[in-house]
Structure 1
Amino acid sequence: MDKPKLWTKNFLIVSTANFFLYFTFYLLMVTITIFATEKFHASPSEAGLASGIFVIGLLIARIFCGRYIDQIGWKKTLYIGFVLFLITTCLYVLVNSMGFLLVVRFLNGAAMGIASTATGTIVAKIIPNKRRGEGTGYYALSLTVAASIGPFLGMFITQHATFYMNFIVCIIFLAFSFIAVFFIKIPKLEFTKEELKKKKGLSLHHFFEVKAIPISIISCIIALGYSSILTFITTYAKEINLVYVSSFFFIVYAVFVLVSRPFTGRWFDEKGENFVMYPAILLLAMALFSLSQTHNGFSLLLAGALLGLGYGTTSSSVQAIAVKVSPKHRIGLATSTNFIFQDLGVGIGPFLLGYFVPLIGYRGLYMMMTVVILVCLFLYYLLHGRTAMCVNEDVKSKSA
């Protein structure tokens, strides 16, 4: 029996659009603190706020976007998100004070929250159910590649050109992707009277998909572990005199995600999520442990490879699971719920984990996070793994 087609025009367009969203996010995330410090002589805490307030705006927008995306319409929400993200990115060129920068960062984050929730919801509809894990995995590559190219290009531009060139590059790429999204064709949304009735009123149920919360909790903890690397790897590399080698860390990470993604996505669909999730969480723990013991370039890059196999796999798998366990008419909320928890982990990580660095150092921090991720392995079993195992066994027995 032939597999349903995955690489359609719609899938390619929405994946490309998502790449440029996250490309802009990561490029500005790693360079905006330098801009705030050099342009407005901001203190480290103020510069950190300029970086982190983006995530606050993003989280707030995701909560409300997940609630109303079905009523507004997926494609219309996508257009609104991209228009706002392009406009607020253009505003960076006009920033002339620290206060104005904070406002722009907050609005820019909110705009991305709308746009990225729309792209995630649309792609969940486009991907055939029989290729859910594989399709979500390939889609997540747009984020992974952006996470490696964005920071690299941002630092390169900052070192070899004026800082405003970063803004111009982002604006050009976003304008290109904005034009591309007009060619996406999305199936018309149809809801039963009962489903429409459930959408009325205000309650927690209207902002979060309850069935997606258990796996989203896992997503939050895994993202917390990733944030310890994303935030402190540069400073840690300086401390252990591996600055030059560390510049290749995320490149190695991206390479191993690219190499592993075709296999892990297929295994997810054919063998079930547990076959993928348990080894991936363990590999993430091994990456953190390797960082805690790093004394040379090889072990540092080994950690990058393990991170690609571990976090690169779990980040896409949890999204596929969130959609899989939720009702079809609540795909938008399921997508939003997972993203909210994931962003929460990345957002609170720098603030929360930063308190531990003066007490236990970077090696102690990564050892502590190794333990946290190992605990997450058992938590995954309790919140989802054992249920998924029973479902898979039922399916096998029925097919037999």
Structure 2
Amino acid sequence: MTKPKLWTKDFLLVSISNLFLFLTFYYLLVTLPVYALQEMQAKASEAGLLITVFLIAAIIIRPFAGKAMSILGKRKVLFISLIIFFASSALYFFPASIHTLLILRFFHGIGFGIATTVCGTIVADLIPSSRRGEGMGYYIMSSNLAMVLGPFLGLTIMNQWGKETMFTISALFAFCTLVFSIFIKLPNIQPTKESVTSKQSFNLKDYFEASAIRISIVAALFAIVYSSILSFVSVYAKDLGLQTVANFFFVIYALVLLLTRPFTGRWYDRYGANIIIYPCIICFAIGMYILSQTTTSAVFLIAAALIGLGWGTLFPSFQTIAIQEASPERRGLATATFLSIFDFGIGLGSFIIGLAAANVKFSSLYFYCSLFILLGIGFYYLLHGKRETISVNKEQARNA
């Protein structure tokens, strides 16, 4: 029996659009705080707010993005969000103070929050249901590649050619996102009677997808640990005297994803979520433990590979579960719910890890993170894994 086609023109277009969307995000994530400190003489706390304000805007807007898709349609909402995103990217030349820059970041976060929600929903509609684990893995790999390329390009361009070129390239990335999205042809999914009725009155369930909440909480708990990687792994490498290999951490991370994605996604579709998720949680924990004990470049990069395999596989698996639990016409709300709760975990984690880092060594911090990940096995089992096991057993009994 032939597999339904995954690599369609529209799947490639939405993945490329997502690549440039996240490329803009990560590009500015590392350059704007430096720009604010050096050019605007901002305080460190104010520079940190440039990330916090952006994420808060994305978290707030996402539930409304899910509702807007059911009223206006995915294409209109996608274009509106990408126009906001591009316009915000093009305006970074003009703020003269940290306060106006923060306002711009808030509007930029609104565009990003809506766009990521719509793109995630569109790609879920495009991927055949029998290949959803594999397809979501490849799609999310585009944002993982942006996580590697964005900081590297941002810091290189800022240091070599200055702020004007830096902001020009940022706007160009955002423009590419808009251009590629124009050619995406959306599948025709007919709304159910329930979804049509929900447009006529206010109801909390029109803004959140209840079926996605459990797995989203699991993802947010692991995101707390992942935020320690995003925020402090380069600082930790510098403390260890490994700054020369710090930039290669995410390169190795992405390389492992590229090599393993063809297998992990297919295994998810064939054997179910638990077969993938439990080993990857353990792999993530081992990677964090090795990171806490590292003293050499080789061990540092081995930790990066294990974390890339562990967390890099967990995140698309969690998002796939959130989408699969929802009915087709509520995938937008499921995506919005998942990403909002996940981003809350990233934001909360950055705050908690920042406080912890002021009182303990990074090596101890990453050791405690590895223990927290192991506790996550229990959280996953209680919130989803147990139900997954029951569902698989029933399926096997029916096929026996």
TM-score bracket for this pair, using the shorter chain length: over 0.9
Instruction: Provide the residue aligned with 1:114 in structure 2.
Output: 114
Matched letter for residue 57 of structure 2: G
Within 5 Å, which residues of 2 pair with 1:378-389? 378-389=378-389
Name which of structure 1's ranges 18-27 and 44-53 shifts more when overlaid on structure 2: 44-53
> Residue 259 of structure 1 corresponds to which residue in structure 2?
259
TM-fit CA distance, 1:315: 0.8
CA distance in 1, matches of 2:11, 2:31: 30
SS of match in other structure, 1:92: coil
The letter for the 2-side match of 1:385 is G
Q: How far 1:196 moved relative to its partner?
A: 1.9
- Given that 2:70 and 2:199 are in contact with CA atoms closer than 8 Å, whether structure 1 keeps it comes out as no
Question: Partner of 1:187: helix, strand, or coil?
Answer: coil
2:26 matches 1:26? yes
Please, which moves more after superposition, 260-269 or 194-203? 194-203
Secondary structure at 1:359 match in 2: coil
Note if 1:84 corresponds to 2:57. Answer: no
Amino acid at match of 1:204: L
Residue 200 of structure 1 and its aligned partner are, at CA, apart by: 4.0
Residue pairs, 1:1-400, within 5 angstroms: 1-400=1-400
After superposing the two structures, state which structure 1 stretch, 196-205 or 312-321, moved more.
Answer: 196-205
- With over 3 angstroms needed to count, the CA separation of the structure-2 counterparts of 1:199 and 1:382, relative to structure 1, is farther
Over 3 Å counting, the alpha-carbon distance change for 1:182 and 1:128 in structure 2 is same
Amino acid at match of 1:394: K
Taking the aligned partners of 1:294 and 1:163, their CA distance within structure 2 comes to: 36
Alpha-carbon shift at residue 68 of structure 1 (Å): 2.1
- Secondary structure at the counterpart of residue 7 of structure 1: coil
Displacement, 1:396?
A: 1.5
Secondary structure at 1:280 match in 2:
helix
C-alpha change, 1:194 and 1:180, in structure 2 (3 Å) is: same
Deviations 1:15-35 (A, max 9, x none): 000010000001101111000
CA distance in 1, matches of 2:338, 2:348: 16
Distance in 1 (alpha carbons) for counterparts of 2:247 and 2:182: 37
Q: Count residues with an aligned counterpart.
A: 400
More moved, 233-242 vs 185-194: 185-194
How far apart are 1:47 and its partner, in Å?
A: 0.7
How many Å separate the matches in 2 of 1:47 and 1:183? Answer: 37
Mapped to 1, the partners of 2:367 and 2:171 lie a distance apart of: 40
Distance 1:188 1:325 in 2: 20
Query: Alpha-carbon deviations, 1:119-149, whole Å to 9, x = none?
Result: 0000000000000100001101111100001
Summarize the Cα distance change of 1:261–1:249 in structure 2 as closer, same or farther, 3 Å threshold: same
Distance 1:245 1:397, change over 3 A: same
Give 1:207 deviation, angstroms: 1.5
Q: Deviations over 1:328-369 (max 9, x none)?
A: 221111111111111111122221211111222211211121
SS at match of 1:245: helix
- Separation (CA, whole Å) in 2 of partners of 1:354 and 1:247: 21
TM-aligned CA deviation for residue 311 of structure 1:
0.8
**TM superposition shift of 1:195:** 2.8
| 8 Å Cα contact 2:68/2:77 also seen in 1 | no
Q: Deviations over 1:263-311 (max 9, x none)?
A: 0000000010001001111111112111111111111101110111011
Mapped contact 2:63–2:336 kept (Cα < 8 A): yes
Query: How many angstroms apart in 1 are the aligned matches of 2:246 and 2:193?
Result: 56
Secondary structure of 1:94's counterpart equals coil
- Structure 1 distance, partners of 2:309, 2:204, is 35
| Gap runs ≥5 in structure 2 | none
Shift of 1:194: 2.8
**Residue segments in structure 1 that go unaligned for 5+ positions in a row:** none
Which whole-Å deviations, capped at 9, do the CAs of 1:251-273 have from their partners, x for residues lacking one?
00000011111100000000100
After TM superposition, the structure 1 stretch with the greater mean CA deviation from structure 2, 60-69 or 265-274, is 60-69
Amino acid in structure 1 at the alignment position of 2:243: V
Give the % identical residues: 41
Distance 1:191 1:249 in 2: 44
Per-residue deviation, residues 58-83 of structure 1 (Å, max 9, x unmatched) = 11111211222211101111111111
For the aligned residues, what is the CA RMSD? 1.2
**In 1: Cα distance, 2:227 partner to 2:184 partner:** 33
TM-score of the two chains, using structure 2 as the length reference? 0.98
Contact persistence 2:23–2:173 (CA under 8 A): no
For each residue in 1:203-233, what CA deviation from the matched residue of structure 2 results, as whole angstroms up to 9, or x when unmatched?
Answer: 4322211111110011101111111011001
Which amino acid is the alignment partner of residue 320 of structure 2? A
Letter in 1 for 2:208: F
